[in-house]
Amino acid sequence: MLAETDDLEVRARVEAGLNLVAEHNLFWEFAETVAGNSDFDSSSQWAEFYVKPGIAFQYRPDERTSLYGAASVVVSTTVGIDAFAAGNTGRATVEELYLGFRRGDEKGTRFDASFGAREWKAGTGMLLSNGGSNGFSRGALKLGPRRAWRVAGLVTAASGGVQGTAFYLDPNEAPDNDTGTHIAGADLRYDANSGSFIGVTMGKVLSSSSPYPQAPPGGIGVPNFIIGGRDGLRFLSAYGRIAPTGGPLENAWIGLDLAIERNKRIDLKAWAGRAQIGYAFAGQPWRPTISYVYQTFSGDDPDTPELERFDPLYYEGNPSAWSTGTKSSMMFINSNVNAHQLVLSVAPSARDTITLRGARIGANKLRSPIQFGQATRVEFEDGIAQPITGVTRKHLSDDVYLEYRRIMTPNVYLTVGVSLSSPGKGVDSISNDVTAPIWTGGFANMVVNF
């Protein structure tokens, strides 16, 4: 605490992280077998570091009114060469810089407005969560310390458990890949005391230069790239979670997310969804928790002139949120993929958690882009060379991820993980049915937050 009076609080805060990473057979060695790049090192080790100092204040002229704000910067670096052949670099960037006004109280009617660089998530993070980009010239690829939007204009009105937020968002993209995307919309949700909630997010991309890949007719040929395809995109996302508070299902939960996207300018109609169910054995030793998740994102149908490719926008891409698999999520964004995921977690003590995740990942549409420009190569049919887009079999990969997390102190967290990705027939089809190797890796990181 830097200063504290009856109506003013000023706090200093700092967050820092160190991550050691090792990878073997990166990207199933596609750099050499598909791209023909023998100079790319598919076995890599690197270290990441970041520090985020900041300051926050709150001024309360009366019991129902407060003015608040925060400012912070991120200084990050990568030592060594990371998975995307970038490294020995880093940047210092503004993370938070915002002011806000709040009126009311938490249990009654309240109003909140803020403007500036800050974090914000819509719903479960399916479309709008991670407002900052990391890696490449900025370093700290895996730690991902930047999450704040460059500009977030938020106006929230709430009463009891009902809350509505109008938003304007400008993502904090790296200068060498800034798409000029600006998004506006609204989020409406209801939160019950039990932890259950339901909500809907709607919005429109006001401007963007981000291009879209489109499958060639029949999947034969190279993708067509629609420059500025994201510009004008409209989206609607509904989300909910039910967590019973009594009876035999007291420790169970069910979640559902659905989203549709439309863009008349380029004749786009896309969709996505997720269903999850879980149960916590709270009264058992080690408190085991098990959950099953299925998520799917539409891909472009090569047999139609329309575009059906789902745009995941700025989703929350970590294994406990919206990543599709673990290692495979570095290859496939949430478009033209689906995944069955099983998660088992145990807590040997109040400080220790062990989590095992397994995922079976597939493609929704064959001969259609599964990532921006991914999987375009030449195949021979009846002795004739033809460019092919996407995969010719649906099974992409099987991922396994084991993580151990320890709360060393209330401010220090240690996480260690190992993972592997076994390629499926779909991945093998990209390299002309040459069996790709298993991709393995591990990490150890420590995060300090005061």
Supply the pTM of this predicted model.
0.94
Q: Which two tokens stand for residue 139?
A: 């370093």
Q: Is 47 exposed, middle or buried (0-12, 13-18, 19+ CB in 10 A)?
A: middle
What tens digit of pLDDT does each residue of 13-54 get? 999 999 999 999 999 988 777 766 667 888 999 999 999 999
Q: Which two tokens stand for residue 43?
A: 């076995």
Question: Do β-strands 439-449 and 87-104 pair in parallel, antiparallel, or remain unpaired?
Answer: unpaired
Average pLDDT value for the chain: 92
Phi, psi for 429 (deg, rounded to 5): -65, -25
Residue 435's pLDDT is what? 84
Question: Do β-strands 268-280 and 289-297 pair in parallel, antiparallel, or remain unpaired?
Answer: antiparallel
Give residues with Cβ within 8 angstroms of 347, minimum separation 6.
286, 287, 353, 354
Count of residues in the chain: 450
Residue 390's pLDDT is what? 84
Nearest C-alpha neighbor of 328 from the set 397, 259, 417: 397
Residue 221's pLDDT is what? 82
Q: What domain range includes position 48?
A: 3-449
Residue 105's pLDDT is what? 86
Residue 383's pLDDT is what? 46
What tens digit of pLDDT does each residue of 136-157 get? 899 999 999 999 999 999 999 9
What tens digit of pLDDT does each residue of 221-252 get? 888 889 999 999 999 999 999 998 877 788 99
Bridge partner residues of 312 (DSSP): none
Distance CA 332, CA 364 (A): 12
What tens digit of pLDDT does each residue of 360-399 get? 999 999 999 987 444 444 444 444 444 557 899 999 999 9
Total structural domains within the chain: 1
Distance CA 217, CA 133 (A): 34
Residue 381's pLDDT is what? 45
What tens digit of pLDDT does each residue of 312-332 get? 999 999 999 999 999 999 988
Residue 102's pLDDT is what? 97
Q: Inform me whether the pLDDT recorded for 65 exceeds 90.
A: yes
CATH of the domain at 435: 2.40.160.100
Q: Which two tokens stand for residue 1?
A: 């605490």
Residue 388's pLDDT is what? 53
Q: Is the separation of the CB atoms in 401 and 357 below 8 Å?
A: yes
Query: Residue 261: what residue type?
Result: E
Phi, psi for 428 (deg, rounded to 5): -60, -30
3-state percent breakdown (helix, strand, coil) of the chain, nearest 5: 5, 55, 40
Q: Is 307 exposed, middle or buried (0-12, 13-18, 19+ CB in 10 A)?
A: buried
